[in-house]
Structure 1
Amino acid sequence: MRKWYVINTHSNQELRAEENLVRQGFQVYLPYFLKARKHARKVDIVKKALFPGYIFVELDPTSDNWGSINSTYGVRRLISAGSKLPSLPDGFVTDLREAKIDQELSDPDLKPGQKVKFLSGPFANIIGSLSHMIDRERISVLLNLLGREVKTSVSRFDVTTVT
């Protein structure tokens, strides 16, 4: 019977492990979110694992040849308890997929260029312009302070939209 099992990956090698396991014919699932990465004055959107260091593989341990998993590039080891493979609870991966975890960085209320007002802190009641989403919880806001634009990053819950 096919069930889902957990694979421990090397640090930051989830995508590599996923690619190599798919190439070998395994059914894998890597829940991720998109994150803005700033490098060399550019902002790139990259995939980041929702569970860093782990991906899921569907297999039947009695009939599938899963011995090659531990020697796959990016994989540290298939999680096991001695010679037994503990499977994930039924419906775990299905529930993750239905939760639509793998979504774009977006908040229906926040869009780049939109005016936002700080709710608390040193910038309380100051209005700025949303530059971009950094990740699921942080945003970058442009403020006009002392005659010039200043970029700051804050929790998306520290601002509200201005209509």
Structure 2
Amino acid sequence: MNWYVVYAQAQKELVAYQNLVKQGFAAYLPRYRKNCRHARRVYAVMAPLFPRYLFVRMDPTSQRWRSINGTIGVSYLLSDGPAPISIPDEIIETIHAREQDGMVQVMPPAFIKGQKLAVTDGPFTDLQGIFECVEDDHRVILLLDFMGRIVRTRLPGHAVTAA
């Protein structure tokens, strides 16, 4: 049996997970602790590690996998033509290895305020900026000199490196 990727409806990852389990599929929804702010309050919630994505383990030759596309909360099973696309077990094992108490432990990038960083991925690739801080969702706030102005930019932690 292999792991496959399910693309869920927006904000319906948990609904999709619960319905896949009810149908007898082995599903996996990796989540992490995310700090949210509302009305001057800060509280922690369990959020999907990969928004709109979850994983299902199945054997497409013996299981009725096409029912996944009709599951409440699911948009579709990622496929290449008529066949679903499997992913290596090592990916799921790596995510499982970082779990503690049912939550994936996500470490923010370790940069120092004022440190020069280079953008390595995305539309600002090859630009350099000054590190300001890391937000609760582990996005890096970077001050970029862009078109003669200093622009405060939010980037994923994996998209920057020390310059």
Same fold judged by TM-score > 0.5?
yes
Task: Give the % identical residues.
Answer: 39
**RMSD over aligned Cα, in angstroms?**
3.3
Match of 2:48 in 1: 49
Match of 1:4 in 2: 3
* Structure 1 counterpart of 2:60, one-letter code: P
Match of 1:78 in 2: 77
Match of 1:61 in 2: 60
TM-score by length of 1: 0.61
* Structure 2 counterpart of 1:18, one-letter code: Y
Instruction: Say if 1:41 and 1:3 are closer, same or farther in 2 by CA, change over 3 A.
Output: same
* Alpha-carbon offset, residue 44 of structure 1: 2.7
Instruction: Say if 1:105 and 1:98 are closer, same or farther in 2 by CA, change over 3 A.
Output: closer
Q: Point out the structure with max Rg over C-alpha.
A: 1
* Secondary structure of 1:91 counterpart: helix
> How many angstroms apart in 2 are the aligned matches of 1:105 and 1:86?
26
* Structure 1 counterpart of 2:8, one-letter code: T
Alignment deviations for residues 118-148 of structure 1 (CA, whole Å, 9 cap, x no partner): 9559xxxxxxxxxxx944468xxxxxxxxxx
* Structure 2 counterpart of 1:85, one-letter code: P
Match of 2:26 in 1: 27
* Secondary structure of 2:57 counterpart: strand
Instruction: Say if 1:62 and 1:51 are closer, same or farther in 2 by CA, change over 3 A.
Output: same
Match of 2:157 in 1: none
> How many angstroms apart in 2 are the aligned matches of 1:25 and 1:46?
27
| Aligned positions, number | 121
**Contact preservation (8 Å) 1:27, 1:59:** yes
* Alpha-carbon offset, residue 31 of structure 1: 1.4
* Alpha-carbon offset, residue 40 of structure 1: 3.4
Match of 1:16 in 2: 15
**Contact preservation (8 Å) 2:30, 2:104:** no
TM-score by length of 2: 0.61
Instruction: Say if 1:120 and 1:85 are closer, same or farther in 2 by CA, change over 3 A.
Output: closer
* Alpha-carbon offset, residue 8 of structure 1: 0.7
Alignment deviations for residues 52-95 of structure 1 (CA, whole Å, 9 cap, x no partner): 12110000001112222111111000011111122002322112
Instruction: Say if 1:82 and 1:34 are closer, same or farther in 2 by CA, change over 3 A.
Output: same
* Alpha-carbon offset, residue 9 of structure 1: 0.9
* Alpha-carbon offset, residue 105 of structure 1: 7.7
> How many angstroms apart in 2 are the aligned matches of 1:61 and 1:39?
44
Match of 1:96 in 2: 95
* Secondary structure of 2:83 counterpart: coil
* Structure 2 counterpart of 1:90, one-letter code: D
Instruction: Say if 1:98 and 1:43 are closer, same or farther in 2 by CA, change over 3 A.
Output: same
